[in-house]
């Protein structure tokens, strides 16, 4: 009975080794569905925002203006001097008494035919 006691731990060790190596072999040969797909990272370039403004990467657009109907007055205090006519509206930011970033359409000129 003495040889059987020594064989049992050896068999357990062999079983453990075979089981761990079989998992290792499966991990080295994964199926095509489990294969990782490479993703192109591209080149990274970090710059300070102030450098990008002068770099020519941004489009410089002309002022945006729209011709809409408005009420134009010769005297702001006298409503009898007002008339409805097409006005040229433009976007204006940095309005007084408004938080930073608030913009609005503001009439620029009265009696316009086109703002372009």
Let me know if residue 44 belongs to a domain. Answer: no
Displacement of CA 101 from its chain's centroid (Å): 18
- Residue 23 CB neighbours (<10 A): 9
Let me know if residue 56 belongs to a domain. Answer: no
pLDDT tens profile 28-46? 555 555 555 555 455 555 5
pLDDT, mean over the chain: 69
Let me know if residue 50 belongs to a domain. Answer: no
Let me know if residue 67 belongs to a domain. Answer: yes
Instruction: Indicate whether 107 pLDDT > 60.
Output: yes
Let me know if residue 89 belongs to a domain. Answer: yes
Let me know if residue 72 belongs to a domain. Answer: yes
Better pLDDT: 100 or 38: 100
Residue 100 φ/ψ, nearest 5 degrees:
-60, 135
- Its domain, for residue 14, covers 2-27
Give the total number of structural domains in the chain.
2
pLDDT tens profile 65-99? 778 888 888 887 888 888 888 888 888 888 888 88
For residue 40, what pLDDT is reported?
Answer: 46
- DSSP one-letter string for 11-69: HHHHHHHHHHHHHHHHHHS--GGGSPPP----------HHHHHTTT-S--PPPPEEEEE
């Amino acid at each position: 009975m003495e040889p059987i006691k020594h064989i049992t731990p050896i068999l357990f060790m062999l079983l453990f080794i075979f089981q761990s190596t079989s998992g290792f072999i499966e991990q080295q040969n994964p199926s095509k569905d489990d294969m990782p797909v490479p993703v192109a990272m591209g080149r990274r370039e970090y710059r300070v925002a102030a450098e990008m403004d002068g770099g020519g990467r941004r489009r410089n657009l002309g002022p945006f203006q729209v011709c809409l109907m408005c009420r134009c007055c010769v005297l702001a205090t006298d409503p009898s001097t007002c008339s409805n006519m097409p006005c040229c509206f433009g976007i204006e930011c940095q309005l007084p008494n408004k938080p930073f970033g608030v913009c609005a359409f503001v009439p620029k000129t009265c009696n316009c035919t086109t703002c372009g």
